[in-house]
Amino acid sequence: MQANLPHLQSTFTTDCVIFGFHEGALKVLLIERNEYPFKGWWALPGFFVDHSETIDDAVKRILYEHTGLRGIFMEQLYTFGDLKRHPQGRIITVAYYALLRLDDLKSQPEPVTDYARQAVWHPLDDLPELAFDHRHIIDKAIQKIRRKISYSPIAFELLPEKFTLTQLQQLYEAIWGRKLDKRNFRKKMLNYNILKELPEFQRGVSYRAARLYKLDKRKYAKVFQNELTFSR
Amino acid sequence: MQANLPHLQSTFTTDCVIFGFHEGALKVLLIERNEYPFKGWWALPGFFVDHSETIDDAVKRILYEHTGLRGIFMEQLYTFGDLKRHPQGRIITVAYYALLRLDDLKSQPEPVTDYARQAVWHPLDDLPELAFDHRHIIDKAIQKIRRKISYSPIAFELLPEKFTLTQLQQLYEAIWGRKLDKRNFRKKMLNYNILKELPEFQRGVSYRAARLYKLDKRKYAKVFQNELTFSR
DNA sequence: TCAAAAGTGTTACAATTACACCCATGA
DNA sequence: TCATGGGTGTAATTGTAACACTTTTGA
């Protein structure tokens, strides 16, 4: 079973749940492992943390290797240290989650690592069986963003710079897993005064084009301090 | 400087912010270190995590060693891995926080470890200078419970089994750092219907004795599911 | 002209805030 | 009898929830 083991540079790793949002659905970026253990299985992008880098830096590196992007929003999630989570012994993993604007990607992500055969976006509601305790990590990440989206404007990290109110609403609906009332949603969201109405509209749709908005960074900063509450 | 180093059983440790509540003020349990590095400094209780125990178990062990108690509420907080946080090289620490009923303690905690000379409760608003990045860890723990106390009934972990509404209110005030309106607080808290009014009153006070309440465990469980919101 | 989604207001109800006095107790 | 904290209600405001139709556009 265990040919070609990753050399144990350290006894802890980091794994990252990379969320994307496309066509009304939340996606997670998974890799197909090219190394034992769990060779051929789907897993979260992750790797051993080097002695000379911080955990944050390791995650940034992993994000770059899989998406080609820097400056992605990321945050630590939880540290998993069950004795049996890794077949090669007790390896602790510091899990992160990241939020990615899918439209920033020029193309399908091509991992530049040799431990991943391919990297593919999977819809959250249809995930394959995953290596290690990665399914559990993803569940924890969803819980986290479900809560966080109601008091902090992380939603905008998943949307293109210019977006419609419907896109924003669909994102909340996808994260919370239930429908919201259109009128109430718009009323409340616009009341926060953190959106800037643009003199632009959607293009290329075969129905009435929706107005585009973008985040007003100045007001956004204030809201981040005072914390906005968007629940129910 | 570095005589008598702790042997590096592993490259990661756990540290625990133990909160207590007494006479209207939040306290943190600190130890005076008896080992290098930072010998003689105040620090959070913590130690290296053994290869054969989970992180949770390590924290439980540390809690027991310092308080003599088991079954204390605890939860993972954050994992700190800065390259320079530990003078002996990059040692990652998985920080936890714990909430303790101070009245459960028979006496002053006496650490049964040899790396701590003494363990003393310090009021949160008057902490000494701390070893490592422990001040930073405590700040993060406070942020965490500030948020968490508004959607989950963790407050009761800090109070005796039977408590007065004023004690409960003072706890919220201590954690949030601001005064609350007595009538509004009581109205809201009693409306949740998670408290059981006891036919008992305070004793030994030189003013009108306040009624005692305790948590109604059955309703508590429901509230934990639906998540209560107590903000502002 | 049709299909599809955009956009828009009102009313009922619930929650939150602000606010001040009398009561019971032990010293 | 005094000092101390316990205990209580109402009104104004704000926020939330439920609900349906007209408009615009491209095909």
In the predicted model, is pLDDT for residue A225 greater than 70?
Answer: no
Distance CA A14, CA B149 (A): 29
Q: Which of B142, B147, B188 is nearest to B168 (CA)?
A: B188
Choose among B168, B43, B173, B18: nearest CA to B100: B18
What is the least distance, in Å, from the CA of A139 to any CA of chain B?
Answer: 16
**pLDDT over 70 (residue A226):** no
pLDDT band at A217 (very low <50, low <70, confident <90, very high): confident
What proportion of chain A, given as a percentage, has pLDDT over 70? 90
Whether the predicted pLDDT of A49 surpasses 70: yes
H/E stretch holding B214:
strand B211-215
Specify the 3-state DSSP secondary structure of B133. coil
Query: What's the mean per-residue pLDDT of chain A?
Result: 89
| Per-residue confidence (pLDDT) for residue A23, from 0 to 100 | 87
Residue B106: predicted pLDDT: 63
Q: Is the pLDDT of residue A119 over 70?
A: yes
Q: Spell out the residues 6+ positions from residue A18 whose beta carbon is closer than 8 angstroms to its own.
A: A28, A29, A45, A63, A66, A67, A72, A97, A98, A100
Average pLDDT over residues A218-224: 74
Give the containing element (helix H, strand E) for B169.
Answer: helix B165-176
> What is the CATH architecture assignment of A162-226?
Orthogonal Bundle (1.10)
- How many residues appear in chain B? 232
User: What is the per-residue pLDDT for A67?
Assistant: 86
Q: Residue A6 pLDDT > 70, yes or no?
A: no
What residue has token string 């409960």? Answer: B168
Separation in Å, CA A80 to CA A90, A136, A162, B95, B108: 10, 10, 37, 12, 33
List C-alpha distances in Å: B196 to A217, B99, B150: 47, 22, 20
**CA A120, CA A211: separation in Å to the nearest integer?**
31
Residues B19 and B141 sit within 8 Å (Cβ to Cβ)? yes
* DSSP state letters, A119-159: EEEEETTS---BSTTHHHHHHHHHHHHHHHTTTSGGGGGTS
Amino acid identity at A86: H
From A47, A43, A66, select the one nearest A135 (Cα to Cα): A43
* A6 preceded by a cis bond (ω within 30 of 0): no
What is the C-alpha separation between B85 and B123, in angstroms, rounded? 24
Q: Could you give phi then psi for residue A204, rounded to 5 degrees?
A: 75, 20
Return the number of other C-beta atoms located less than 10 Å from residue A94's C-beta. Answer: 27
Residue A229 pLDDT: 56
pLDDT digits (tens, 9 = 90+) for A181-194: 999 999 999 998 99
Q: Do A78 and B81 touch (CB under 8 A)?
A: no
Domain ranges of chain B: 12-148, 154-226
**Looking at the predicted structure, is the pLDDT value of residue A10 above 70?**
no
Structure confidence at residue A106 as a pLDDT band (50, 70, 90): low
Q: CA of B79 to nearest chain A CA: how many angstroms apart?
A: 7
Contact B113, B33 (CB under 8 A): no
B154-226 folds as Arc Repressor Mutant, subunit A (1.10.10)
Pair B223, B229: CB distance under 8 Å: no
Enclosing H/E stretch for B118: strand B116-123
Cβ-Cβ contacts under 8 Å, B48 against chain A: none
Considering only CA atoms, name the residue closest to the C1' of nucleotide D3: B207
Q: A184: Cβ under 7 Å from strand C?
A: yes
Q: What is the pLDDT of residues A142-159, one digit of tens each?
A: 999 999 998 888 999 999
- The arithmetic mean of pLDDT across residues A44-51, rounded, is 91
**Omega into B37 within 30° of 0, i.e. cis?**
yes
**Residue B9: predicted pLDDT:** 46
Q: Which residue has the higher pLDDT, A218 or B108?
A: A218
Is A12 strand, coil or helix?
A: strand
The residues with which B15 forms a beta bridge, in sequence order, are: B46, B95
C-beta pairs of A223-226 under 8 Å, 24+ apart in sequence: A223/A153, A223/A192, A223/A194, A224/A152, A224/A153
With distances taken from each CA to the C1' atom of nucleotide C26, the closest residue turns out to be B206
Which residues 165-204 on A are within 7 A of strand D at the CB atom? Answer: 181-184, 187-188
Residues of chain B contacting A50 with CB distance shorter than 8 Å: none
pLDDT of residue B80: 97
Predicted pLDDT of residue B188 = 94
Chain B residues whose beta carbon lies within 8 Å of the beta carbon of residue A54: 81-83
DSSP structure class, residue B130: B
CATH of A12-148, one of 3.40.190.10, 3.40.50.800, 3.30.930.10, 3.90.79.10: 3.90.79.10
Per-residue pLDDT tens digits of chain B, which is 232 residues long:
433 344 344 588 999 999 999 989 999 999 999 988 999 999 999 999 988 899 999 999 999 998 888 999 999 999 999 999 998 888 999 999 999 998 767 667 777 777 888 999 999 999 999 999 999 999 999 999 999 998 888 999 999 999 999 999 999 999 999 999 999 999 999 998 999 999 999 998 999 999 999 999 888 777 666 555 564 4
How many Å does it take to go from CA A208 to C1' D2? 76
- As a residue count, chain A comes to 232
Residue type, B215: L
pLDDT of res. A232 = 42
Q: Do A92 and B90 touch (CB under 8 A)?
A: no
**Amino acid of residue A150:** S
Q: pLDDT confidence of A230, banded at 50, 70, 90?
A: low
Residue B21 dihedral angles phi and psi, to the nearest 5°: -135, 125
Q: What is the pLDDT of residue A182?
A: 97
Decide if pLDDT at A137 tops 80: yes
Question: With the CA atoms of A48, A53, A58 and A64 taken in that order, what torsion angle do they form, in degrees rounded to the nearest 10?
Answer: -130
At A36, the pLDDT band (50, 70, 90 cuts) reads confident
Do A12-148 and A162-226 fold alike per CATH?
Answer: no
Provide the number of CB pairs (under 8 Å) joining chain A to chain B: 49
Q: Which two tokens stand for residue A176?
A: 């919370």
More confident residue, A28 or A8: A28
Mapped onto helix, strand or coil, the DSSP state of residue A67 is: helix
